């Protein structure tokens, strides 16, 4: 074992039969002798039990086995499960991951500049994919139209139509779809050439079209996109199902939900960026101020033991308070809403001095209030004379 460790230090590999001599028996289909002791085996006839399993739809995982007799364990890799969509709702049945780009594409028979579209082969239920094969064909991606609407998958090729002399450039991920001079092969080119120009020709009255290359030809026969053996290629056009395609499109961009870059408040506009679900192009958008969401608090009359308050309105979003329902008169000082408690019934209504409830103190209270009235009358007469 020590020699095997040194070999690994120098070469980076090990002799597996030194670590696991019992494999020599397993290799020839023989049972390992009972009681055989090796660096990884202590004579136990393992009884393996699965203790854990971790795998997801999109990522490989593993499972671990344990021998409860000797405590040995070993793990094995598990391939990803792949997404399933038995109910055809375009979400994975297991992990609920969205399986489509939720932009509503509808059938068209003619292109317009800036149009986003996918190429669908109705007979197979597949769209042209983004990736090219080693044979210079396009891979395919599954798609399931719902009525007249189709949602492309992430790996579907979403084309942007750009008008040029005599036809259309078909761009995807910034590259131009081009045919070989004599057809058969397809390429993604950084720059357009004579064989990057395509046209749509009607293929009957059911909305199907031929997608024909303007310049590619084989012995004078025009070359068109063709579905063949789970791939898209370019071949001499014939009036047959492999060439009869349907184009699902939106006139321009299909903008997704804006991602906020500056918060919007009740009184200040915010900003956000929205991205096209189909091509990824972004644009800034301005989000208007939300305005106040006011809730009224009814007035409460004060008592001799508790304060009261006037009616006011509070914004549910920002918490600001206002004197009016329109939110034009802001409350700067919350204490201005408060009404003080009422004076006790045995207090002077002029100066607020209180008197006990006794008979003698009540008489003093009457004289006290009479004095206020007399003094007020004298002041009035004095002001009147002078």
The pLDDT tens digits for 335-360 are 999 998 877 665 555 555 565 555 54
Tokens of 176: 């131009």
237 and 110 co-located in one domain: yes
Low-confidence ranges of the chain (pLDDT < 70): 1, 31-45, 344-369, 371-372, 380, 383, 386
353 and 333 co-located in one domain: no
110 and 246 co-located in one domain: yes
Distance CA 164, CA 378 (A): 103
pLDDT the model gives residue 356: 54
Domain containing residue 149: CATH number? 2.80.10.50
Of 78, 98, 115, the domain-final residue: 78
Q: How do the residues of the chain divide into helix, strand and coil, expressed in percent and rounded to 5?
A: 15, 35, 50
pLDDT the model gives residue 203: 93
Give Cα 25 distance to the centre of its chain: 54
Structural domain contains residue 221:
yes
245 and 301 co-located in one domain: no
Report the SS3 class of residue 362: helix
64 and 151 co-located in one domain: no
pLDDT the model gives residue 357: 53
Structural domain contains residue 274:
no
Ordered strands of the 321-322 beta sheet: 294-297, 312-315, 321-322
Structural domain contains residue 283:
no
Q: What is the pTM of this model?
A: 0.66
227 and 325 co-located in one domain: no
The beta strand positions in 16-108, using DSSP E, are 37-38, 41-42, 49-54, 61-66, 73-78, 106-108
198 and 303 co-located in one domain: no
67 and 32 co-located in one domain: yes
Structural domain contains residue 270:
no
Structural domain contains residue 83:
no
Distance CA 340, CA 123 (A): 82
Question: 73-80: long-range contacts (C-beta < 8 A, 24 or more apart)?
Answer: 78/53, 78/54, 79/55, 80/55, 80/56
Query: What range defines the domain where residue 367 resides?
Result: 343-386
Of 37, 59, 78, the domain-final residue: 78
185 and 222 co-located in one domain: yes
Name the residue among 162, 176, 125 with its Cα closest to residue 146: 125
324 and 374 co-located in one domain: no
Structural domain contains residue 196:
yes
pLDDT the model gives residue 273: 95
Structural domain contains residue 160:
yes
63 and 156 co-located in one domain: no
pLDDT the model gives residue 90: 86
pLDDT the model gives residue 309: 92
233 and 122 co-located in one domain: yes
| Number of domains into which the chain is organized | 4
Structural domain contains residue 84:
no
Of 198, 216, 250, the domain-final residue: 250
Cβ-contact 295, 316 below 8 angstroms: yes
pLDDT the model gives residue 36: 65
pLDDT the model gives residue 271: 95
Give Cα 193 distance to the centre of its chain: 37
pLDDT the model gives residue 10: 81
CA distances from 187 to 55, 120, 154, 345 (A): 36, 19, 20, 97
């Amino acid at each position: 074992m020590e020699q095997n460790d040194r070999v690994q230090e120098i070469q980076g590999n090990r002799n597996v039969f030194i670590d696991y001599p019992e494999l020599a028996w397993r290799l020839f289909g023989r049972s390992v002798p009972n009681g055989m002791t090796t660096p990884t085996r202590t004579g136990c006839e393992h009884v393996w039990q699965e203790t854990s399993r971790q795998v997801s739809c999109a990522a490989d995982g593993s499972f671990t086995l344990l021998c409860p007799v000797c405590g040995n364990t070993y793990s094995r890799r598990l391939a990803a499960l792949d997404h399933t969509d038995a109910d055809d709702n375009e979400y994975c049945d297991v992990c609920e991951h969205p399986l489509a780009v939720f932009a509503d594409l509808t059938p068209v028979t003619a292109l317009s500049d800036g149009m986003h579209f996918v190429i669908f082969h109705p007979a197979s239920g597949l769209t042209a994919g983004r990736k090219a094969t080693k044979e210079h064909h396009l891979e395919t991606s599954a798609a399931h139209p719902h009525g007249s609407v189709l949602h492309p998958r992430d790996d579907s090729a979403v084309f942007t139509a750009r008008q040029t002399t005599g036809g259309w450039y078909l761009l995807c991920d910034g590259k131009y779809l081009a045919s070989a001079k004599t057809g058969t092969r397809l390429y993604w080119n950084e720059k357009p050439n004579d064989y990057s120009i395509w046209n749509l020709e009607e293929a009957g009255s059911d909305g199907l079209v031929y997608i024909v290359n303007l310049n590619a030809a084989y012995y004078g026969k025009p070359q068109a996109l063709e579905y063949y053996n789970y791939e898209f290629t370019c071949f001499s056009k014939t009036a047959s199902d492999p060439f009869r395609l349907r184009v699902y499109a939106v006139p321009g961009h299909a903008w997704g939900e804006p991602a906020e870059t500056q918060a919007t408040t009740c009184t200040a506009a915010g900003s956000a960026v929205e991205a096209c679900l189909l091509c990824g192009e972004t644009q800034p958008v301005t989000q208007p101020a939300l305005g106040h969401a006011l809730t009224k608090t009814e007035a409460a009359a004060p008592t001799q033991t508790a304060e009261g308050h006037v009616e006011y309105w509070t914004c549910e979003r920002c918490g600001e308070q206002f004197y009016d329902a329109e939110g034009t008169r802001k409350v700067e000082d919350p204490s201005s809403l408060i009404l003080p408690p009422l004076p006790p019934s045995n207090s002077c209504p002029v100066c607020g001095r209180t008197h006990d409830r006794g008979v003698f103190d009540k008489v003093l209270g009457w004289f006290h209030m009479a004095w206020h009235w007399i003094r007020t009358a004298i002041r009035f007469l004095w002001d009147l004379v002078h």
